[in-house]
């Protein structure tokens, strides 16, 4: 299934959820339910922004962007993290105001039922999208799913707090629970922004992909063939690896090309869709940039 289909479902679910939560707030007057509805409103904005960024990321390479537009997904994840953080700050502000002027919560049962229904919808969609993000290796999809999971935790905390208010008579409990959950959301926001920054800075492939690369290279290493300056990076759903492949200088051009193509094919079979760049060099020789002192950025492949 394409990423956009997941995001369309997320957007529709977000609209349904915010309708349920706004109704819960109107019935109860709870600051917790209001804060929960505000967080869901951010879901709608974030899902729409993610759709835009994924559409840009899916564009084919062109003259100005020969490596494609995959990194647009990281902007989606970063903006989504900022929006989640903003929602958390607004929740804290509203909860602090309610602490200064507490008031009772009305129609608790109706509000809890509506919010619980919205929470079930969010949890189901988030679980489905997380599975999709692993299969499609999409940070934008993962960010949207984790955003929904943050909303689930918000709703659970709010439900507990609102239910306890009439049972205990502690009017301050509703805003306090909202503040605690908001701090959890801030942590999630930081994680999303940090991952986006890592992606925009050409972070290396994850450990399982690095292990797959090393396994392939180990098959082709010999007294005649060695590899160095192995570099990897990821851009959205795309993966890249580059390296030097050293061979005996007396080998014919055809034989050297045959060996290089075999390694390239093996890497693409091990990690489908990966972009492979292999520079062939005679044994004992290095490229000009290495001879001029360009530092080697190793991929930290496992031993």
- Reported as a pLDDT band with limits 50, 70 and 90, residue 148 is confident
| CA-based nearest residue to 186, from 289, 56, 43, 86 | 86
What's residue 271's pLDDT?
93
Q: Could you tell me where the beta strands, DSSP code E, fall in 88-174?
A: none
Q: Which residue bears the tokens 């020789």?
A: 285
pLDDT digits (tens, 9 = 90+) for 167-222: 888 888 888 877 887 787 788 788 878 877 777 777 788 889 999 999 999 999 99
Confidence of residue 132 (pLDDT cuts 50, 70, 90): confident
93-123 pLDDT, tens digit per residue, is: 888 888 888 888 888 999 999 999 999 999 9
Tell me the pLDDT band of 88, cut-offs 50, 70 and 90.
confident
Give the three-state DSSP class for 275: strand
Average pLDDT, the chain: 83
Query: In this structure, are residues 247 and 222 in contact, taking their beta carbons and an 8 Å threshold?
Result: no
pLDDT > 90: percent of the chain: 29
According to the per-residue pLDDT averaged within each range, which of 34-48, 56-70, 168-182 is highest?
A: 168-182
Flag whether pLDDT at 67 surpasses 50: yes
Q: In the predicted model, is pLDDT for residue 28 greater than 50? A: yes
**Residue 218 has what pLDDT?**
94
In this prediction, residue 291 has a pLDDT band, given cuts at 50, 70 and 90, of low
pLDDT of residue 268: 95
Looking at per-residue pLDDT, the higher value among 301 and 26 belongs to 26
293 has pLDDT over 60: no
3-state helix, strand, coil in the chain (%, to 5): 70, 10, 25
pTM for the whole structure? 0.60
Per residue, the 3-state secondary structure of 59-112, as one string, reads CCCCCCCCCCCCCHHHHHHHHHHHHHHHHHHHHHHHHHHHHHCCCCCCCHHHHH
Of the candidates 109, 114, 99, the residue with the CA atom closest to the CA atom of residue 166: 109
13/6 Cα distance (integer angstroms):
11
Distance from C-alpha of 181 to C-alpha of 18, rounded to nearest angstrom: 18
| pLDDT band with cut points at 50, 70 and 90 for residue 303 | very low
């Amino acid at each position: 299934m394409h990423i956009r289909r997941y995001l369309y479902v997320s957007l529709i679910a977000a609209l349904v959820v915010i309708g349920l939560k706004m109704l819960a707030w109107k019935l109860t007057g709870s600051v917790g339910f209001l804060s929960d509805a505000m967080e869901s409103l951010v879901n709608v904005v974030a899902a729409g922004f993610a759709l835009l960024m994924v559409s840009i990321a899916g564009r084919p390479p062109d003259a100005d962007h020969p490596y494609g537009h995959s990194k647009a997904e990281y902007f989606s994840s970063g903006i989504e993290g900022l929006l989640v953080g903003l929602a958390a700050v607004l929740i804290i502000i509203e909860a602090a105001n309610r602490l200064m002027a507490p008031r009772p919560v009305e129609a608790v049962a109706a509000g809890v039922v509506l919010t619980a229904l919205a929470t079930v919808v969010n949890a189901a969609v988030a679980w489905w999208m997380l599975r999709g993000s692993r299969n499609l290796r999409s940070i934008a999809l993962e960010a949207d799913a984790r955003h929904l999971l943050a909303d689930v935790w918000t709703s659970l905390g709010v439900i507990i707090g609102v239910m306890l208010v009439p049972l205990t008579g502690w009017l301050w409990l509703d805003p306090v629970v909202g503040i605690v959950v908001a701090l959890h959301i801030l942590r999630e926001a930081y994680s999303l922004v940090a991952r986006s920054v890592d992606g925009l800075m050409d972070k290396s492939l994850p450990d399982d992909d690095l292990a797959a690369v090393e396994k392939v290279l180990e098959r082709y290493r010999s007294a005649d063939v060695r590899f160095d300056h192995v570099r990897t990076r990821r851009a959205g759903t795309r993966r890249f690896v580059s390296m030097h492949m050293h061979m005996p200088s007396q080998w014919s051009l055809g034989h050297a090309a045959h060996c290089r193509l075999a390694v390239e094919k093996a890497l693409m079979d091990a990690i489908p869709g990966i972009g492979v760049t292999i520079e062939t060099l005679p044994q004992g020789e290095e490229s000009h940039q290495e001879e001029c002192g360009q530092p080697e950025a190793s991929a930290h492949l496992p031993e």
